[in-house]
């Protein structure tokens, strides 16, 4: 249950980040999950739902997950390419590159609170 432990660590991070008063008003969490992060957004969603925050202060919280594309920056011409089908090539000069600038991350992008 890889995704369950991710959900747990997200909630732990938020509990450390925000004060009690804010946490009680939390209404939405926005995540960005890179396509190379080995995290399946659908499974993460399921894990979050399965946690049954019902009756807890998180029961109103909606989880939004945005899947982010894989991008590389060419070492040769500095062009940024969005990778399709795991072809790690600069679209401008065809230089192979593994210089990832996006796609491996899992980050909490935004948190919303009720007023
Ligand atoms: Zn290039």
Which tens digit of pLDDT belongs to each residue from 24-47?
999 999 999 999 999 999 999 999
* Cα 15 from Cα 72, distance rounded (Å): 33
Ion ligand 1: residues, Cβ under 5 Å: 74, 76-77, 79, 90, 92-93, 95
Query: What 3-state DSSP class applies to 107?
Result: strand
Q: How far, in Å, is the centroid of ligand 1 from the Cα of 73? A: 8
Per-residue pLDDT, 1? 58
Instruction: Give the domain ranges of the chain.
Output: 2-68+103-113
Q: Which architecture, in CATH terms, is 2-68+103-113?
A: 2-Layer Sandwich (3.30)
Question: What is the pLDDT of the chain when averaged over all its residues?
Answer: 94
| pLDDT average, residue stretch 7-25 | 94
Distance of CA 76 to the CA centre of its chain: 29
Q: Locate 59 and state its tokens.
A: 């029961």
Answer yes or no: are the C-beta atoms of 103 and 38 closer than 8 Å.
Answer: no
Residue 59 has what pLDDT? Answer: 87
Q: Are 31 and 107 in contact (CB under 8 A)?
A: yes
What angle, rounded to 10 degrees, do the helices at 2-17 and 41-50 form? 70
């Amino acid at each position: 249950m890889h995704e369950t432990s991710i959900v747990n660590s997200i909630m732990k991070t938020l509990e450390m980040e925000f004060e009690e008063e804010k946490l009680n008003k939390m209404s939405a969490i926005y995540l960005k999950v890179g396509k190379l992060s080995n995290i399946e957004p659908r499974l993460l969603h399921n894990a979050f739902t399965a946690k049954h925050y019902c009756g807890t202060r998180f029961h109103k919280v909606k989880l939004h997950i945005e899947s982010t594309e894989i991008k590389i920056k060419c070492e040769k011409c500095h062009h940024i390419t969005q990778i399709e089908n795991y072809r790690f090539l600069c679209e401008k000069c065809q230089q192979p590159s593994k210089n990832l600038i996006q796609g491996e991350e899992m980050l909490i992008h935004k948190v919303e609170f009720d007023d």
